């Protein structure tokens, strides 16, 4: 009987204040996670494609077409700073 009572409590969690959890901290956790993952994906897309270089990349490499920073570009000294 005790297991059935606990199962009933788990199934009907929204009737005992569960709504406050869903609309409060759970919503905040979801928004923070979405913002953080969006920021990570944007930085991953725009950083230099050389291993362990975290500079933001705005120059396309002529050989392979991936974005690289000014330091790793073959014509790095002749490129304008962007």
60 belongs to a structural domain: yes
- Quote the domain boundaries for residue 78: 48-82
What is d(CA 47, CA 55) in angstroms, rounded to the nearest whole number?
6
First to last CA, the chain: 70
**Residues near 46 by beta carbon (within 8 Å), at least 6 away in sequence:** 56, 57, 58, 67
DSSP reduced 3-state for 67: strand
pLDDT tens, residue by residue, 43-69: 888 888 888 888 887 788 888 888 888
The predicted structure's pLDDT at residue 69: 84
53 belongs to a structural domain: yes
pTM: predicted TM-score of the whole model, two decimal places: 0.57
Pairing status of strand 59-60 against strand 67-68: antiparallel
52 belongs to a structural domain: yes
3 belongs to a structural domain: no
43 belongs to a structural domain: no
71 belongs to a structural domain: yes
- What's the domain count of the chain? 1
Mean per-residue pLDDT of the chain: 78
């Amino acid at each position: 009987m005790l297991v059935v009572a606990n199962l009933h409590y788990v199934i009907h969690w929204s009737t005992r204040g569960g709504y406050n959890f869903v609309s409060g901290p759970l919503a905040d956790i979801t928004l923070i996670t979405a913002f953080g993952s969006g920021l990570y994906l944007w930085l991953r897309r725009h950083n230099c494609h050389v291993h362990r270089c975290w500079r933001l990349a705005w120059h396309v490499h002529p050989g392979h077409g991936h974005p690289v920073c000014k330091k790793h570009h073959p014509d790095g000294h002749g490129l304008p700073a962007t």
